[in-house]
Chains A and B, each alone.
Chain A
Amino acid sequence: AQKITQTQPGMFVQEKEAVTLDCTYDTSDQSYGLFWYKQPSSGEMIFLIYQGSYDEQNATEGRYSLNFQKARKSANLVISASQLGDSAMYFCAMRPSGSARQLTFGSGTQLTVLP
């Protein structure tokens, strides 16, 4: 079974600063994918970034990067130059190998960007 742990229920960051949201995972699979989703107060789930377990380079998408440390089983999300619109709930999720493609989610981190 897979498990995702997000230990920060809430985080605050000053506008224009960088912030790291923590995510650790537990799996016995060798092949898996890690995802981050953003959920603003409006409720929709927005895909941010993906990291495959065999990808050698850390994933980046604009201001988002994923700090992937396979040996430590961590996949932290780094948001650079925070903006007020980044205030939202952030979920880390894992997809195991195989054809089922279901996601296991962490409990989320509520990020608040301060002006």
Chain B
Amino acid sequence: NAGVTQTPKFQVLKTGQSMTLQCAQDMNHEYMSWYRQDPGMGLRLIHYSVGAGITDQGEVPNGYNVSRSTTEDFPLRLLSAAPSQTSVYFCASSYSGSAGGGNEQFFGPGTRLTVL
């Protein structure tokens, strides 16, 4: 299993450009999420999904869109990039079952985004 994969690993954008960060998982996890990590701060939740066709906003959703058409894929779209969106972006997935096995979220390797 590849686990959670993210592409690209690095990206530089100009202000106002749009792009899509890709995330895929091959563990058949129902739950997927996007976080951003800024210096000196922990990860903050942008958007999450509890299954195909179901998404919801997290703590910092402004400027980002998501969709979940399949269980495997959960892309994050930046509509009009701004310097404040310079960050490291992590995608994560987990089972949505109850307590017991599989409680942890599995993280992708991250995408380092710079907006000039």
Which residues from chain A sit less than 8 Å from chain B, CB to CB? Answer: 4, 6, 33, 35, 37, 43-45, 47, 50, 52, 54, 91, 93, 95, 99-108
- Known contacts A43-B110, A45-B90, A52-B99: does B105 contact A103 (CB below 8 Å)? yes
Q: How far is the CB of A70 from chain B (nearest CB, A)?
A: 16
Q: How far is the CB of A60 from chain B (nearest CB, A)?
A: 15
CA distance A21 to B51 in the complex (A): 35
Q: How far is the CB of B67 from chain A (nearest CB, A)?
A: 18
In this complex, the interface size class of chain B, counting residues with CB under 8 Å from chain A, is 20 to 34
Q: B43 within 8 Å of A by Cβ?
A: yes
Q: Which of B32-64 contact A (CB under 8 A)?
A: 33, 35, 40-45, 48, 50, 56, 58
Which residues from chain B sit less than 8 Å from chain A, CB to CB? Answer: 31, 33, 35, 40-45, 48, 50, 56, 58, 88, 90, 92, 94, 96, 99, 103-107, 109-110
CA distance A93 to B109 in the complex (A): 18
Q: List 6 A-B contacts (CB under 8 A).
A: A4-B42, A44-B107, A44-B109, A44-B110, A100-B31, A102-B48
CA distance A102 to B50 in the complex (A): 10
Contacting residue for B56 out of A100, A103, A107, CB 8 A? A100
Q: Is the CB of A43 within 8 A of B88?
A: yes
- Known contacts A43-B88, A43-B110, A100-B48: does B103 contact A50 (CB below 8 Å)? yes
